[in-house]
Amino acid sequence: MSRAWLIGAGPGDVELLTLKAARTLALADVVLVDDLVNPEVLQFARADAQIVYVGKRGGQSSTPQHEIVATMLDHLRAGRSVARLKGGDPFVFGRGGEEQQALQAAGVHVEIISGITAGIAAPAAIGIPVTHRDHAQGVVFVTGHGAGEHEADWRALAATHMTLVIYMGMRRLGDIVDALLDADMPPDTPCAAIESATRPEQRHVAATLHELVRRVTDAGLGSPSIVVIGGVASLATSDASSPQPAP
């Protein structure tokens, strides 16, 4: 009987892959890989495994969700076991839930292998704990991607006084910061943005809410980045962005 797995590949650093993910990858006949996954992770796949790249980055062309599921089902029905590798954790903003539903609807049981999500690993990479007794009693993971009816209620989130960890927030960072300032979040609230966390090219800025957009723009920070907003961001180990030498 062929098996299906949804596997979290972690945030980037290959050593942040779980032992279970590495062991499971070695069982798969076919591996479907998202574009945020560090290709080094594929060292754990079998040499004869078929590797299929299915990018899925906001705003860029990518394999449609239904095609990814259809590809998985084709392989499964042909008796091949399929590992679906996603960045971070497969159930945090990775559409893993949707893929599980689609596979279940087709009668396939899919095993979930959790990964370390960027929303925890990226802040940690610069010394920021997402909770801390002195700063935040909780943490909210939220997407900055939504607009219109999918827009988060930034006023309600500001009122929680919890750490806000924003995924996919760079494109709309200006709007998000404006919404939080409108909601009376103090302009001197500590913030950080971390790009390509846990990878060699990692860089970040730490700034107040008031200065965040300017500092991010000056540093040229883009995707993939995690934005952290709240008192915990004052624990960032350095406030300097670290530009990389040109390749």
Residues binding ligand SAH: number (CB under 6 A): 25
81, 114, 225, 241: which one contacts ligand SAH (CB under 6 A)?
225
Of residues 58-87, those binding ligand SAH (CB under 6 A): 86-87
Amino acid letter at 229? I
CB of 117 to ligand SAH, least distance (A): 3
**Is residue 117 a contact point for ligand SAH (CB under 6 A)?**
yes
Interface mask toward ligand SAH for 176-215; x: CB under 6 A: ------------------xxxxxx----------------
Burial annotation 53-78 (CB, 10 A radius, 16+ → b, else e): ebebeeeeebbeeeebbebbbebbee
What the block records as the tokens of 123 is 């802040």
Shorter beta-carbon distance to ligand SAH: residue 29 or 207: 207
Question: Is 167 near ligand SAH (CB under 6 A)?
Answer: yes
- Given the complex with ligand SAH, which of 123 and 190 has the nearer CB atom? 123
Q: Return the H-helix or E-strand segment holding 25.
A: helix 19-25
Edge to edge, the sheet with strand 139-143 lists: 139-143, 163-167, 225-229, 190-195, 203-208
The distance of closest approach from Cβ of residue 93 to ligand SAH in the complex, given in angstroms and rounded to an integer, is: 4
Phi-psi region of 168 (alpha: psi -120 to 50; beta: other; left: phi over 0): left
Annotated catalytic, 153?
no
Helices 65-77 + 96-105 axis angle, to 10: 50
- What gap in Å lies between CA 29 and CA 48, rounded to an integer? 8
Say how far apart CA 162 and CA 107 lie, in whole Å: 40
Q: Is 94 in the site for ligand SAH (CB under 6 A)?
A: yes
| Candidate list 7, 82, 102, 122; residue touching ligand SAH; CB under 6 A | 122
Query: Which residue in the list 29, 34, 86, 185 is annotated as catalytic?
Result: 34
Please say whether the beta carbons of 225 and 171 come within 8 A: no
118 is a site residue for ligand SAH (CB under 6 A): yes
- Choose which of 31, 84, 89, 207 interacts with ligand SAH (CB under 6 A): 89
SS3 26: coil
Strand ranges (DSSP E) for 87-168? Answer: 110-113, 139-143, 163-167
Report, in Å, the least distance between residue 216 CB and ligand SAH: 13
Kindly state the helix (H) or strand (E) to which residue 8 belongs, with its residue range. Answer: strand 4-8
Q: Based on CB atoms, which residue is closest to ligand SAH, 136 or 170?
A: 170
Q: Give Cα 101 to chain centroid, integer Å.
A: 20
Stretch that binds ligand SAH, among 20-28, 73-81, 101-109, 218-226 (CB under 6 A): 218-226
* Sites of contact with ligand SAH (CB under 6 A): 11-12, 36, 86-89, 92-94, 117-118, 122, 167-168, 194-199, 223-226
